Structure 1
Amino acid sequence: MIGRMRERVVAACDGASKGNPGPAGWAWVVADGSENPARWEAGPLGRATNNVAELTALERLLAATDPSVPLEVRMDSQYAMKAVTTWLPGWKRNGWKTSAGKPVANQELVVRIDALLDGRSVDFRYVPAHQVDGDPLNDFADRAASQAAKIQEQAGSALGSAEPPPSPDTPKPGTKPGSAKSGGARRKSAGTRQGGASSSRTIKAKFPGRCLCGRSYGAGEPIAKNPQGWGHPECRTAEAAGQAG
């Protein structure tokens, strides 16, 4: 547990799934007073989705930190953050059903996180993933989760593990996001409609959304960046945008 003398603990957590679903892993990292990684842990999940990995990372972080000390959690998962802040109160009121009357996905994890959040001060902060000058704690957690997903082994500072290797999804300085050299740096931020250069790269949608053509797409469906956001690969050209208007 973190010592009780500290006024606030700053931490980050992240999950990864190679295939969504596919080999998955989770990780969290706690910072020292200078916001440098001081303590961390990562672990495998076998085959799981990105959402399960993200929620598991948050659950493990909350369980590993002192509930009497205020906590700042930095995350790049809009889903996990909204699940436990925006959507959770409504789910509980509705008997763990969504507004559409469907059972809440990953309910067991959300219930455990809700219990761990009870009575403690936790400030959630969204940070974009895979940025050249991104948040170093989030980057560390991302790298650790990715490595755990790949090798399916436990790691962490308590085990004397080496710092996780650089992520291939983070562009090198001087490389435009989304370019071929960046290694597809927009993998995690696709569902959040972050700004950035257009790319011909096709990825799987992390969240449901609506294309500029007016048709919707579901989570897991292939999407591509177009001049006005994310949508169907066939709608990504400027010509398609003009026809849709």
Structure 2
Amino acid sequence: MIDAMPERVVAACDGASKGNPGPAGWAWVVAEDDEIPSRWEAGPLGRATNNIAELTALERLLAATDPDVPIEIRMDSQYAMKAVTTWLPGWKRNGWRTAAGKPVANQELVVRIDELLAGRTVEFRYVPAHQVDGDRLNDFADRAASQAATVQEPAGSELGSPEPPAAPDAVPTRRAPARKRPGKAGGRAGTSASSSRTIKAKFPGRCVCGRSYAAGESIAKNDQGWGHPECRTPERTDAG
């Protein structure tokens, strides 16, 4: 048991959606002084968007920590961070409507987060996701959220859960070589050059699998946009 109240808490939170929308989950983690995870929680959301998962993770973290202790929150979601640090004051002035006059998306979660932030000392820190030697707390929260989205079961330190594993979709899958269409000697195989090529991302983003990618990371085109090369939809080949 902790005898004295900590002077400051360092934490991270993350959300994941497998399909966006799709099976979703949230997670948060609180660290000791040496940034070793000491307490964490994750949970399922059923079918939800990635933005809902990200906001839920933040809401659950704020609800689970002492409002009297300053906290640093690390996140890889620019949407969730900007929602509460940049856009929220304007939304409140406009009666919870955007500058375009439309209702604020995910308003209930944003209102709840606003209530939890009242009177607290909170420092938000953006950290790029999936970096070699990247932020260990963000990586932990990312893995926990991904696991919760995949298995749709709660987990956490209070439940005695082991450290969350790497996401199942983080491991590239081997694809069988595409076959050439019969009667088309010299024709293209089932994979076109444009759909198989990878490029370096100019800006951070989020793959269809729910995981983020950073600027400079290799990405490839998928049916629903750009994302990790291993998450590309397998190309179909025709029988004739």
Structure 2 length normalisation: TM-score?
0.75
- Classify the secondary structure of the residue corresponding to 2:153: coil
How much has 1:5 moved relative to structure 2?
Answer: 1.9
What displacement does 1:202 show? 3.0
Q: Paired residue for 2:108?
A: 108
Match of 2:216 among 183, 196, 199: 196
1:4–1:69 CA contact under 8 A, matched in 2? no
Matches within 5 A, 1:122-141: 122-141=122-141
**Which one scores higher on RCO, CA 8 angstroms, separation ≥ 6?**
2
In structure 1, how many angstroms separate the alpha carbons of the residues matched to 2:134 and 2:75? 12
| Runs (5+) with no aligned partner, structure 1 | 173-179, 205-221, 226-245
* AA partner of residue 205 (structure 2): A
Cα distance in structure 2, aligned partners of 1:143 and 1:31: 16
Deviation at 1:118, TM superposition (A): 0.1
For 1:118, the equivalent position in structure 2 comes to 118
The residue type equivalent to 1:195 in the other structure is A
Pairwise CA RMSD of aligned residues? 3.0
Deviation at 1:33, TM superposition (A): 1.4
Letter in 1 for 2:24: A
Corresponding residue number in structure 2 for 1:47: 47
Q: How does 1:33-182 map to 2 (within 5 A)?
A: 33-167=33-167
Q: Report the secondary structure of 2:220's partner residue.
A: coil
- TM-score, length-normalised on structure 1? 0.73
Structure 1 residue 167: Cα displacement:
3.3
SS of residue in 2 equivalent to 1:34: coil
Could you say if the C-alpha distance between residues 19 and 170 of structure 1 is closer, same or farther in structure 2, counting changes exceeding 3 Å? closer
Distance 1:88 1:2 in 2: 35
Deviates more, 1:2-11 or 1:149-158: 2-11
What residue number does 2:31 align with?
31
The change in CA–CA distance for 1:135 and 1:39 in structure 2 (over 3 A counts) is: same
Deviation at 1:201? 3.4
Aligned-partner Cα distance in 2 for 1:27–1:203: 28
Kept in 2: contact 1:171–1:185 (CA 8 A): no
CA contact (8 A) 2:200 2:219 kept: no
State how far apart, in whole Å, the 1-side matches of 2:168 and 2:134 are.
Answer: 14
CA distance in 2, matches of 1:120, 1:60: 15
- Closer/same/farther in 2, CA of residues 134 and 91 from structure 1, 3 Å limit: same
Deviation at 1:168, TM superposition (A): 5.4
Q: What secondary structure sits across from 2:146 in the alignment? A: helix
Contact 2:74 2:125 in 1 (8 A): yes
- Structure 2's unaligned 5+ residue stretches are 173-195, 207-211, 229-240
Retained in 2: the 8 A contact 1:2–1:65? no
Of structures 1 and 2, the larger Rg is shown by 2
Relative distance call for 1:185 and 1:119 in structure 2 (3 A) is farther
Q: Which aligned runs of 4 or more in structure 1 are off by greater than 4 angstroms?
A: 1-4, 168-172, 191-194
The one-letter code matched in structure 2 to 1:189 is P
Q: State the Cα distance separating 1:166 from its structure 2 match.
A: 1.6
Q: Distance in 2 between matches of 1:74 and 1:145?
A: 14
What is the aligned partner in structure 1 of residue 10 from structure 2? 10
